[in-house]
Amino acid sequence: MADSLEEAARAAQANAYAPYSSYRVGAALEAIDGRVFVGCNVENVSYGLTICAERSAVVRAVADGARRFRRLVVVSDSEPPASPCGACRQVLLEFGSELLVESIGPGSRRRWLLGDLLPAAFSKGTLA
């Protein structure tokens, strides 16, 4: 059964701009205060300029003043569901390693703590 965060991620996925890969992804990021920020992937003909759904949601959240997050739901058509890419993991880590990440595909779901997806990470503590 879908929860409201999953529904928000699916709605964002419908708006993904993926004319080159046809790999549409939606993300919904829940802040500690309950606000939800959505994002979708936006491809570019210069592939390196593509932005992932997860980073799109983070940028939106930060623009609205959110800095602490509880849960991220990512939906795609991948089976098994794909985890966030390395760049997204690093951006998300900026805001804490305890984020619950849930990836949902057509028939299954997977869950991780962000810190488990990015072990021995380069973090704020590295610079201290």
What per-residue confidence (pLDDT) applies to 1?
55
Model pTM? 0.95
Q: How are strands ordered across the β-sheet holding 26-31?
A: 36-40, 26-31, 69-75, 100-104, 109-113
What per-residue confidence (pLDDT) applies to 2?
65
Residue 128 sits at the vertex; the CA angle it makes with 56 and 118, to the nearest 5 degrees, is: 45
What per-residue confidence (pLDDT) applies to 125?
85
Contacts of 90 (CB under 8 A, 6+ apart): 118, 121, 122
Catalytic residue set: 54
CATH architecture of 4-127: 3-Layer(aba) Sandwich (3.40)
- 54 by Cβ neighbours in 10 Å (0-12 / 13-18 / 19+) ranks as buried
What per-residue confidence (pLDDT) applies to 33?
98
Around Cβ 89, how many Cβ atoms within 10 Å?
20
Torsion 79-105-44-51 (CA) sign: negative
Q: What is the mean pLDDT of each run of 10 residues along the chain (128 residues)?
A: 90 98 98 98 96 98 98 97 97 97 97 96 87
